[in-house]
């Protein structure tokens, strides 16, 4: 239902367009930004003056309260690799894994092939479908506290109660005897945990289809959740214990102490230093130069002098890494690299706005709910990236087709699908997030309080307190990156007459904070990925400093990684990704924003990830986006220097994020604080694909990881070379396009995300 706009509305449109002037003036790289903004304003007035028929969605924008539609009024863009992008690592932190660690055995609830086939037949029946629906309803409900599951058929009780955390081993080069005692004590503790895990797995292997049918829905959910958890296996214990002796020798050589954290899957985190402290105990200066170092600036000399090395912990870290590698006892040993978010701008160019709080997911009824119209969120009018592709009113050449998917499929998501966002956390007090049923309990995996910026190390609070690294830099500000990313996926409450819409209205978001002040440690990211998938526990301490396990009660189907490291994929990160994809989890990665090959970026260049490059509102690759054969999908990431859809706003991706220096997009008047902002980057492209995968999983809950990814691939719009072209001078090593010698083609995926291409299921589909 379209309407003619009145003169009053035309005046409001002028104000909207002039608001675009304020936005575009921040784009330092555009010499004619003011003139361009005036052109945008004039074009908008021509569009909206009394004769023109306007998209109905603007009506919701005009009717909304200013607090529900105000936007950040400053956006900045930079497409240059800055000094701080070069690889850094956490001083004194090392990640290692002993050789020949056996792969964790996947636990099948039934080992009889015929019985498994019978189970599949049962789940295809109406009775089985009803049972699965009950399970998903239970999964969506608040998780009960861990408990003992009563298993029928004499299988015994399967205990899911919190267990004591795995031991940490302190190694003191000045007291070798005590250190070896520590190793022996840790071995005994690990053996006890392994015995307990073995007993539980034996009980679970006895379960039959009849046992599962006899359980209450919440018991079935609990059993399947337990089946995914990685056990402590004796062979893994022995390998890690033996490795500690090698580590003690290396530390003794340089006279530094340390603490070693063991894990269920063999990965070990070694913290070295004068006191050998665990990072959760680090105190003192919060100056990044004192706990972060450039990789190229810390190289172990050929003939190291122990006394000199002891005075430079960064060089000591490099020397111990070198010695452990030379020992031949490890599958990998590497520095604890620092990852950054993938906004296409740098801290010095960030808006001067301040934090907002995290947002909430949509509220939606279970089952297939036909969508009769676009969401009523007022800022939906400006979310070109979710629109259908095309040039007609209400469409955008670079849109991702979510609108057609919602209406044709009758699916806006499912509360049984979980997407974990490993990022900076969420602004939990954000008005579009607070109290949302879409937000599940998460975890703060940032181990070093100096990077955590919240006064402690790891804990159960994933709220984002900010990540500003150097407040002395001009225009430095907190990014609140995770809130923006999660909002695009579906953390924002969609169809609630306020703010923005998300790609999946009904989805469960698990926020896992792994990036803090100045970025995020590789070791924290590895643990965050495994915890998000439900494979390993996190830890929490009580008032007596007794540490117990904290498991993710909502294991992820999809994990979004809008993060990046300038460098090849670290071995430990690949290990973490492989461990979760083996359990059927889909990992989505931003390609990176350095205009270079994804093979030089991680996790974009890692195996077993869905790597996403960024496109603009024309459907062309954004100028900042990385590219390469590793890219699978080109999805909307935005370009703040353009307005190709002619809405009077820069073509960024609009999502949740609290800010200051805002304005009302209808009246153009200034607003002190707001909760929505435009951003650009492959960080914005990746969550579009995560939301798309969540919708596909909702469409076909029984589909495997490979089948879901295949459906995504098959629905992509084919692309032409020109859609991924750029000046050859700006992209060395790319291939000139025939007939255009100055233009080069960049590999940027198999096609463009277009959810409108997803075929209807033969059975009619459904969100369950």
Q: How many CB atoms lie within 10 A of CB 100?
A: 9
Q: How far apart are CA 664 and CA 340, in angstroms?
A: 31
Cα 264 off chain centre by = 23
Q: Of the listed 197, 423, 527, 639, which one is catalytic?
A: 423
Is-contact 649 23, C-beta < 8 A?
yes
Is-contact 662 70, C-beta < 8 A?
yes
Helix pair 126-140, 113-124: axis angle to 10 deg: 80
What is the longest distance spanned by two Cα atoms in the chain?
88
What are 379's two structure tokens?
Answer: 């800022």
- Grouping H, G, I as helix, E, B as strand and the rest as coil, residue 268 is strand
Identify which of 269, 262, 255 has the alpha carbon closest to the alpha carbon of residue 313: 255
- Residue 750: exposed, middle, or buried by beta-carbon count in 10 A (0-12, 13-18, 19+)? middle
DSSP bridge pairs for 261:
168, 269
Exposed e or buried b for every residue in 216-252, given b needs 16+ CB within 10 A?
ebbbbbbbbbbbbbbbbbeebbbbbbebbebbbebbb
Phi, psi of 346 (to 5 degrees): -115, 160
Q: Please tell me whether the peptide bond between 207 and the residue prior to it is cis, using omega within 30 degrees of 0.
A: no
The owner of tokens 């699978």 is 632
DSSP state of 195: H
Q: How far apart are CA 147 and CA 137, in angstroms?
A: 19
- Measured over the CA atoms of residue 268, residue 561, residue 291 and residue 309, the dihedral's sign is positive
Tell me the three-class secondary structure of 505-569, residue by residue: CEEEEEEEECCECCEEEHHHHHHHHHHHCCCCCEEEECCCCCEEEECCCCCCCEEEECEEEECCC
DSSP per position, 351-417: -S-------------SS-----S----GGGGG-GGGSPSSSSTT--TT---HHHHHHHH---EEEEE
DSSP state of 208: -
Q: How far apart are CA 677 and CA 685, in angstroms?
A: 15
Q: How far apart are CA 395 and CA 55, in angstroms?
A: 10
Q: Of the listed 481, 562, 616, 647, which one is catalytic?
A: 481
Identify which of 103, 121, 107 has the alpha carbon closest to the alpha carbon of residue 207: 107
Helices (H), 559-673: 571-581
What are 176's two structure tokens?
Answer: 């070798």
Q: How far apart are CA 414 and CA 361, in angstroms?
A: 11
The owner of tokens 């020397």 is 319
In sequence order, the 6+-apart residues with CB closer than 8 A to the CB of 126 are none
Q: How many CB atoms lie within 10 A of CB 154?
A: 8
DSSP bridge pairs for 726:
744
Is-contact 260 169, C-beta < 8 A?
yes
What are 371's two structure tokens?
Answer: 């969508």
- Grouping H, G, I as helix, E, B as strand and the rest as coil, residue 443 is strand
Instruction: Assess whether 481 carries a catalytic annotation.
Output: yes
- Grouping H, G, I as helix, E, B as strand and the rest as coil, residue 43 is helix
Q: Of the listed 44, 179, 523, 683, which one is catalytic?
A: 683
Looking only at the bridges linking them, the beta strands covering 601-602 and 443-444 are unpaired
- Write out the catalytic residue numbers: 423, 481, 683
């Amino acid at each position: 239902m379209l309407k003619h706009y009145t003169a009053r509305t035309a005046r409001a449109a002028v104000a909207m367009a002039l608001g675009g002037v304020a936005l575009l003036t921040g784009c330092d790289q555009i010499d004619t930004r003011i003139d361009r903004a005036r052109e945008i304003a004039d074009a908008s007035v021509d569009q909206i003056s009394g004769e023109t028929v306007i998209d109905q969605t603007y009506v919701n924008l005009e009717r909304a309260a200013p607090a529900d539609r105000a936007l950040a009024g400053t956006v900045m863009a930079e497409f240059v690799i800055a000094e701080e992008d070069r690889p850094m690592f956490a001083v004194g932190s090392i990640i290692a894994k002993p050789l020949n660690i056996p792969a964790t055995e996947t636990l099948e609830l039934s080992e009889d092939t015929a019985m498994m086939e019978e189970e599949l037949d049962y789940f295809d029946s109406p009775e089985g479908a009803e049972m699965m629906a009950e399970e998903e309803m239970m999964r969506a409900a608040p998780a009960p506290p861990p408990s003992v599951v009563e298993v029928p058929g004499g299988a015994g009780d399967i205990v899911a109660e919190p267990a004591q955390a795995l031991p940490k081993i302190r190694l003191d080069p000045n007291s070798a005897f005590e250190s070896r005692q520590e190793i022996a004590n840790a071995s005994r503790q690990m053996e006890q945990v392994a015995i307990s895990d073995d007993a539980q797995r034996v009980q679970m292997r006895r379960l039959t289809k009849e046992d599962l049918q006899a359980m209450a829905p919440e018991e079935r959910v609990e059993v399947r959740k337990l089946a995914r958890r990685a056990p402590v296996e004796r062979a893994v214990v022995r390998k890690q214990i033996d490795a500690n002796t090698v580590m003690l020798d290396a530390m003794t050589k340089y006279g530094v102490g340390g603490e070693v954290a063991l894990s269920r899957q063999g990965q070990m985190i070694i913290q070295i230093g004068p006191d050998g402290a665990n990072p959760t105990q680090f105190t003192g200066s919060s100056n990044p130069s004192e706990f972060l170092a450039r990789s190229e600036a810390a190289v172990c000399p050929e003939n190291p002098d122990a006394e000199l090395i002891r005075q430079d912990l960064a060089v000591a870290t490099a020397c111990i890494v070198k010695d452990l590698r030379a020992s031949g006892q490890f599958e990998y040993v590497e520095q604890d690299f620092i990852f950054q978010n993938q906004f296409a701008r740098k801290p010095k160019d960030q808006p001067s706005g301040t934090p907002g709080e995290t947002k909430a997911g949509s509220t939606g009824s279970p089952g297939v709910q036909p969508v009769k119209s676009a969401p009523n969120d007022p800022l939906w009018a400006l979310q070109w990236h979710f629109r259908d592709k095309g040039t007609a009113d209400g469409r955008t050449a670079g849109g991702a087709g979510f609108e057609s998917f919602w209406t044709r499929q009758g699916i806006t998501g499912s509360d049984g699908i979980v997407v974990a966002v490993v990022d900076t956390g969420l602004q939990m007090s954000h008005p579009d997030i607070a109290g949302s049923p879409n937000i599940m309990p998460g975890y703060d995996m940032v181990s070093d309080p100096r990077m955590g910026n919240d006064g402690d190390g790891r804990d159960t609070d994933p709220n984002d307190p900010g990540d500003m690294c150097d407040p002395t830099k001009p225009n430095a500000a907190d990014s609140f990156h995770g809130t923006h990313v999660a909002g695009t996926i579906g953390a924002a409450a969609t169809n609630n007459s306020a703010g923005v819409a998300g790609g999946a209205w009904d989805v469960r978001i698990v926020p896992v904070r792994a990036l803090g002040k100045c970025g995020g440690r590789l070791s924290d990211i590895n643990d965050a990925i495994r915890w998000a998938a439900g494979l390993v526990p996190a830890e929490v301490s009580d008032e007596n400093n007794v540490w117990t396990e904290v498991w993710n009660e909502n294991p992820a189907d999809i994990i979004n990684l809008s993060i990046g490291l300038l460098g090849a994929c670290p071995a430990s990160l690949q290990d973490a990704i492989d461990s979760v994809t083996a359990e059927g989890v889909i990992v989505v990665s931003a390609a990176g924003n350095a205009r270079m090959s994804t093979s030089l970026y991680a996790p974009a260049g890692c195996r077993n990830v869905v790597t996403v490059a960024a496109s603009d509102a024309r459907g062309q690759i954004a100028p900042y986006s990385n590219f390469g054969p590793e890219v699978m999908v080109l999805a909307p990431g935005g370009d703040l220097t353009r307005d190709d859809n002619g809405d009077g706003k820069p073509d960024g991706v609009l999502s949740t994020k609290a800010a200051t220096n805002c304005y009302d997009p209808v009246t153009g008047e200034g607003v002190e604080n707001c909760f929505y902002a435009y951003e650009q980057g492959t960080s914005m492209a990746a969550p579009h694909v995560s939301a798309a995968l969540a919708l596909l999983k909702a469409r076909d809950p029984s589909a495997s990881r490979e089948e879901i990814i295949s459906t995504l691939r098959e629905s992509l719009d084919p692309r032409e070379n020109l859609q991924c072209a750029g000046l050859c001078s700006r992209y060395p090593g790319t291939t000139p396009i025939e007939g255009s010698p100055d233009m080069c083609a960049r590999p940027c995926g198999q096609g463009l995300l277009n959810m409108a291409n997803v075929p209807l299921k033969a059975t009619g589909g459904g969100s369950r």
